Chain A
Amino acid sequence: MSLQRPRVGRTRGSVLLVGPPQQRDRLVPTSRPDVIAVDTLFDALGQLTSGRVHTPVHTILLAPNHPEELTQQRIAAFRRLDPVVRVLLVAEPTVADELGQQMLDRFDGLITGPLTEQQLSEAADGADERSNVPEILVTPNLEPPDPPPVNPPVAPTAPPSEAKAPWIAEEAVSPPPEVIPTPEPDQHATAQEQLGDIDLVDQILNDQGDLLSFALRLITQQTQWQNCCVRAVRGDFEGPIAPIEIDGKRFGLLSADDADTAELQSWAGWLARWLQLDLSHRQLSSMAMEDDLTGAGNRRFFYRAMQETMNSSNELRRPFALMLFDIDNFKIYNDAFGHEAGDEILCETVRLLRAIVRRGDHVCRIGGDEFVVIFADPEGPRKSGPANLESVEQIARRFQDQICQMHFPKLGQDAPGNLSVSGGIALYPWDGNDIETLLHHADQRALVSKRSGKNMITLGPPQPNNETS
Chain B
Amino acid sequence: MSQHDESVRCVVLGQPDRDRADAIDEVQQRTTCELTLTEDPVVAFANVCMALQAQAARATWGLAKADPPLLLVVQPDHWSDYDKLLNAMGMYAPHVPVHLWQEGRLDLLPVKVDESEPHTSPPSMTISRADTPIEPPEITAEEIEMLLTTETPEP
Interface residues of A (CB under 8 A from B): 40-43, 45-50, 52, 71, 73-74, 77-78, 80-81, 286, 289-290, 295-298, 301, 305, 317, 319, 354-355, 358-359, 362-364, 381-382, 386-387, 389, 393-394, 396-398, 400-401, 404, 420, 427, 429-430, 448-449, 452-453, 455-461, 463
Contacts and interface: CB of A to CB of B under 8 A. Distances in A.
Contacts of A363: 153, 155
A317 B60 contact: yes
Contacts, number: 143
Contact of A49 (B43, B53, B134): B53
Interface string B34-53: 00000011110111011011
B127 A456 contact: yes
Closest 10 CB pairs of A and B: A46-B92, A297-B155, A77-B46, A460-B125, A381-B142, A42-B88, A400-B130, A49-B49, A461-B122, A301-B155
Contacts of B118: 386-387
B76 to A, nearest CB: 15
A386 B120 contact: yes
How big is chain B's contact interface, by range?
A: 35 or more
B146 interface: yes
B106 interface: no
Given A45-B49, A393-B128, A398-B137, A362 B88 contact: no
Interface in B127-146: 127-131, 134, 136-137, 140, 142-143, 146
A80 B130 contact: no
Contacts of B62: 429-430, 461
Of B120, B127, B154, most buried by chain A (CB within 10 Å of CB) is: B154
B75 to A, nearest CB: 19
Contacts of A458: 127-128
Interface string B44-78: 01110110110001001110000000000000000
Nearest to A286: B155
B126 interface: yes
A276 B85 CA distance: 63
A156 B16 CA distance: 64
A358 B146 contact: yes
Given A42-B87, A355-B147, A430-B122, A456 B42 contact: no
A286 B45 CA distance: 51
Nearest to A39: B84
16 contacts: A42-B84, A42-B87, A42-B88, A43-B88, A46-B91, A49-B52, A78-B46, A301-B155, A381-B143, A382-B140, A398-B136, A400-B128, A400-B130, A449-B127, A455-B130, A458-B127
B72 to A, nearest CB: 17
Given A73-B43, A401-B136, A389 B52 contact: no
Contacts of A41: 42
A453 B88 CA distance: 54
Nearest to B126: A460
A362 B61 contact: no
A401 B134 contact: yes
B103 to A, nearest CB: 26
Contacts of B60: 317, 319, 386
A387 to B, nearest CB: 7
Nearest to A73: B43
Contacts of B3: none
Interface string B101-132: 00000000000000000101011111111110
Contacts of A463: 125
B12 to A, nearest CB: 15
A319 B57 CA distance: 11
Nearest to A377: B146
A298 B154 CA distance: 11
Contacts of A296: 155
Contact of B84 (A40, A47, A305): A40
A42 B45 contact: yes
B40 A381 contact: no
B50 A404 contact: no
A128 B116 CA distance: 34
